[in-house]
Structure 1
Amino acid sequence: MYRKDKSIQMKSSASALYNNLSVLPITNKSLTYFTVVHGNTVNMVSASADGLNFSHRQLQSKEESVALSSSLITQASWCNLPSRVLLVLTSQKGIQMYESDGSIMVYWHALDALETPQAQAVFARGIAPAGGQYICVGTSSGLVLVFDIPAKGTNITLAEVLAEHRDPITDIACETCGGKDMAADLVTADDAGVLCVWKSGEDFKLVTKISAYGVTCSSVKLWDGMIAAAYGTGQIRVYDAGTGEVTAELDAHARWIYTLDIAPESGKLLSGAEDSFVQIWQLSRCAESGTIDVEHRHSECVTDTQICGARFCDPQGSSFAVTGYDLSEIIRYVQV
């Protein structure tokens, strides 16, 4: 069970975007960083462990250091690589990468609007680290850009472009069960509901392709060889990453799911949707048979809130935070 904790006030409200919350625990400083997108601005908040002290920073969408009021940000997410942590922003104009505290921009990649049909929107969306040294970012044309990230400095390069999708990328996830060498460690999802499962490396290899489910896959997570995928129907499907087979189907929500998260050390799965509910599930895999089990653990109603972001605040999943459309606060919950 979880109880409501002290909320964090923001400078502006949350936009109705998929996965519109990112959380970075800084354990050695007893701080937690949060980011929430509003229009062309990212609200960054650092909060102390006791929840009493906050500091705010706002990042704006930029193109070569010039603020663009018309360039809407589509996502902000921290990418935790072994050598460094970067804050990655995607927008209608391109991709920005910052040092983890948002103080210094280290890289800018412009999207080429000329390659896109005039009637189609241009944007980037879907952010995840991969393979220890890469960051993958999706685009509205269905491409996944793979950036090679050095241990320090700004010499970031576009190493590869993955071109399996035909529809805009919605979300990208990397394997979060540390210490295991999986057959697949990256999954990409698109607006049609297609999932592509990859093995990262110098050459990214397609492991399997999971056919469209007839509705958008809005959010996806990967843990211990299991893929959890959320859909506009309010359902969550759990797949085996190696084979692409469905192992569980959950009627999780009454409306469109906007966000998923997994606590890497416990296998807890969190889902948040337009129906104002956050659900928490326990994923597990039988050591002998390899079968996957899913058990419902907790349900939380965030009254009159269209949930657009929800994240665990620690690796065990003992606390989580929620954002909602047009809500100017981050609501926090802790385990009791």
Structure 2
Amino acid sequence: MFRRQRSIPLRGSAAALCNNLSVLHLPVCNLTHFGVVHGPSAQLLSVAPEGVPLAQRQLHAKEGAGVSSPLITQVHWCALPFRVLLVLTSHRGIQMYESDGSVMVYWHALDSRDASPVQAMFARGIASCGHFICVGMWSGRVLVFDIPAKGPNIVLSEELAGHPTSVTDIASEPAQEQDCMADVVTADDSGLLCVWRSGPEFKLLTRIPGFGVPCTSVQLWKGIAAAGYGNGQVRLYETSTGALHVQINAHARAICALDLAPELLSAAEDTFVHIWKLSKRTESGCTEVEHCHGECVPDTQVCGARFCDPSGSSFAVTGYDLAEILRFSSE
């Protein structure tokens, strides 16, 4: 059972963007970092266990070319084996910072030559895998950046083509020993999922067709792709074959966020956050799902939700035009 804890105040509020919350747990410092997007800025907060903000910082989208202020689309901490980077995406480009947001180490401008006159440019969908950071694009491409152990010598190593529409989200999990094991999944506005094996050259393993509904958020769990859709469904697919294992009519409105730690968290515009226990039958390999908890956030259009620690003992929620981050804990 989760109970409401002390909320974390925001200077502004949260924009109505899917996956609009990033969390970085720092057990050594006994701190948790939260990142929330609103318009042309992202707010970063360092918070003590009792929910007291100890430090705040605002980051702004790099201007680039154009006359209007660019809007930020996502902020996300990427935990690499040797460093943690904060990645910020916008309508103008991709910015990478040291984990506290103090120093920008890399800037990648979007190429307007690739955009049609009627299509908006943006980057969206961020995940790290090994020493790579993957970022999705409005064009359906996925940019793969090779990150050094330290310093700013970040290189765009590859561009992945697999999506016909804009990328919405990217997820990864630690690679397994088998060469065929997937460790990255990308999703797009058509609902298509692309499953990849990372490496010096990324390999497309499986394409899981959509069904006319955007896939807004995605996660990877033990070779299973958990996908949340605009119709409120959560679907679990086998990444190696694309076979549908489980379909859950989880929410009454569009899902805005999924997270894993180790249970599956789903949040949607219907004001509900649900937590699901995932398990696999050893003998059959079938995936089973059990509902563990449901939390209503009244009168709030939820736009982001994340577990606050690897054990899944607490989670946080953001809502559109809500000037605070809501926290819930089982302790």
Q: Report the TM range for the smaller structure's normalisation.
A: over 0.9
Computed over aligned residues only, the root mean square deviation of the Cα atoms, in angstroms, reads 1.4
Query: C-alpha distance in 2, partners of 1:229/1:333?
Result: 23
Query: How far is 1:201 from its partner?
Result: 0.3
Could you state the TM-score of these two structures normalised by the residue count of structure 2? 0.97
Q: Whole-Å Cα distance in 1 between the matches of residues 268 and 238 of structure 2?
A: 24
Answer yes or no: is the 8 Å Cα contact 1:63–1:108 preserved in 2: no
Q: Aligned ranges for residues 287-302 of structure 1 at < 5 Å?
A: 287-302=282-297
Whether 1:23 aligns to 2:23 is yes
CA positional deviation for 1:179: 7.5
Residue 317, structure 1, aligned to residue 312, structure 2: yes
Say whether residues 1:332 and 2:330 are aligned partners.
no
Contact 2:272–2:294 (CA under 8 A) maintained in structure 1: yes
1:61–1:68: 8 Å Cα contact kept in structure 2?
A: no
Correspondence 1:251 to 2:246:
no
Is 1:181 the counterpart of 2:180? The answer is no
- Letter in structure 2 aligned against 1:45: L
Aligned counterparts of 2:175 and 2:131: Cα–Cα separation in 1: 16
TM-score by length of structure 1 reads 0.95
Deviations 1:307-336 (A, max 9, x none): 000000011100000000000100000014
How far did 1:222 drift? 0.4
Number of residues of Structure 1 aligned to a counterpart in Structure 2:
329
Residue 180 of structure 1 and its aligned partner are, at CA, apart by 3.9
SS of residue in 2 equivalent to 1:28? coil
Partner in structure 2 of residue 192 of structure 1: 190
What is residue 134 of structure 2 aligned with on the other side? Answer: 136
Residue 181 of structure 1 deviates from its aligned partner by: 3.4
Q: Which runs of 5+ in 1 are unaligned?
A: none
Q: What is the rounded CA distance, in whole Å, between the counterparts of 1:27 and 1:179 in structure 2?
A: 24
Q: Counterpart in 1 of 2:11? A: 11
Instruction: Assess if the C-alpha contact under 8 Å between 1:280 and 1:296 holds in 2.
Output: yes
User: In structure 2, what is the equivalent of residue 41 of structure 1?
Assistant: 41
Q: 1:31 and 1:67, CA in 2 relative to 1: closer, same or farther beyond 3 A?
A: farther
Offset from partner CA, 1:29-68 (integer Å, 9 cap, x none): 000000000000001010011223432110000147x998
2:52 counterpart SS class: coil
Change (3 A) 1:174 1:50: same
- Which segments of 5 or more consecutive residues in structure 2 lack a partner in the other structure? none
Preserved CA contact (<8 Å) 1:318 1:335? yes
Alignment partner, residue 239 of structure 1: 237
- Name the residue aligned to 1:124: 123
CA distance in structure 2 between the partners assigned to 1:150 and 1:68 by the alignment: 34
- 3-state SS of paired residue (1:114): helix
What is aligned with 1:212?
A: 210
Distance 2:175 2:140 in 1: 31
Is this contact kept in 1: 2:40–2:69, CA < 8 A? yes
The residue identity in structure 2 corresponding to 1:121 is A
